[in-house]
Amino acid sequence: MWESQDNTDTRTRPESWSPNGIKRAKVFSFKDLATATKDFRSKLLLGRGGFGSVYKGQLKNGQDVAVRVLDKNTQQRDEDFVAEVEMLSPLHHQNLVTLIGYCCEPDHWLLVYEYMPLGSLENHLFDLHPSREPLDWNTRMKIASGVAKGLEYLHILGDRPAIFGDFKSSNILLGEGYHPKLSDIRMANFGRLCNSSDASTSVGTYGYCAPEYVVTGHLTPECNVYAFGMVLLELISGVKAIDKSRSPEPYHKWAQPIFKDSSELYRLVDPLLDGSYPVAWLHGVIGVADMCLHEDADRRPVIREVVSALTYLESEYNDPEKQCNRRGSKPPTFFYSSLRIKESGLEKEQKKQEFQGGICRYAADTGKRIVRIHNRMRPF
């Protein structure tokens, strides 16, 4: 968390105050943002989140933006604001929503993001509006892969490793061509435990929370992997993490027994796909989701392994000649034994070795062996 260089309370700092490390974020006045959102007109309201309301706006240069107004009653409001600005400003990745700027005035704290025209993934999966076409299989897998790469950047590739505090489908926004970006990223150490009575807390949402986080309140990269597994299952099924019309328990709790029967896996698939999906690819993705949702955090794959697995599955099955859409088809051989790359050539062999190396790694810090992903993919 950012610390001030003097003892001045952050709430008394002048308008020109700029927290350390956010030089790349533009400073807006409240008047500028009120003008951009037409005085925060209700028709421009995009949604409400754990930290406040989000409005669509247009800057003087014509750029569309999303403006988040932090609730005045939000506890730890100052800390939340400073932490998020400091954390988001240096983060730049094709699968993260860009923080454009902020407003920091005595009574007004706002964040300005790039505008994502297609809204959230949640809006494209559940209670689909009649004007919207359902997402096809390839688009769903494209979204899954992009989201995993965004998490990989946060966990591993960025200058400052970070953990997504509230990973869920409503915090995955879609741009042109259904390009996914993670939004509403926040510091992991702010917030309370997930619990069933408070479905959306300041960090974590019931249904996406890993079991160890519910017990300890300690957020880890493994918790993000668990939540990713839940989102992956939502992409496959079109069913919310929590669907009380089906069960008071999280969706995967009653879906997981189906994982064990390959002939029943089709029951997990969103009916809106109308059977248009490669069965072998489906089996593989369900296997990845199952691994991510493991009760034991140590037995979940790390996000880099998830990215490798999804990349491999896409390269292997995103081919019209391989897209068999009959649920009687058998999963690929490597789900039973060793991984095989059917394409020839030195480059493909190197890719195979890289993939195998990535999924059969040892965690130096714990000394615990990570089980081969291609063996654990097998949902049987």
Chain centroid offset of residue 187 CA: 15
What are 313-322's contacts with CB under 8 Å, separation 24+?
313/141, 313/281, 313/284, 313/285, 313/288, 314/141, 314/145, 314/281, 316/280, 316/281, 316/341, 316/342, 317/278, 317/280, 317/281, 317/284, 318/138, 318/141, 318/278, 318/281, 322/278, 322/280
pLDDT tier, 238 (very low <50, low <70, confident <90, very high otherwise): very high
**The domain at 10-114 falls in which architecture?**
2-Layer Sandwich (3.30)
Q: Is the pLDDT of residue 226 over 50?
A: yes
**The domain at 121-376 falls in which architecture?**
Orthogonal Bundle (1.10)
Going from N- to C-terminal start, the domains of the chain cover 10-114, 121-376
For the annotated catalytic residues, the residue numbers are 166
Q: Is the pLDDT of residue 364 over 50?
A: no
Q: Is the pLDDT of residue 274 over 90?
A: yes
pLDDT score for 78: 64
Quick one: average pLDDT of 44-69? 91
pLDDT score for 164: 85
pLDDT score for 60: 94
The residue written with tokens 């997981």 in the block is 256
pLDDT score for 251: 72
Q: Is the pLDDT of residue 207 over 80?
A: no
pLDDT tens digits, one per residue of 312-322: 999 888 765 55
Quick one: average pLDDT of 54-71? 94
Residue 64 CB coordination number (10 Å):
13
For residues 228 and 75, the model is more confident at 228
pLDDT score for 79: 63
Q: Is 256 left (phi over 0), alpha (psi -120 to 50) or beta?
A: alpha
Per-range mean pLDDT, top range of 1-15, 149-163, 175-189 = 149-163
pLDDT tier, 47 (very low <50, low <70, confident <90, very high otherwise): confident
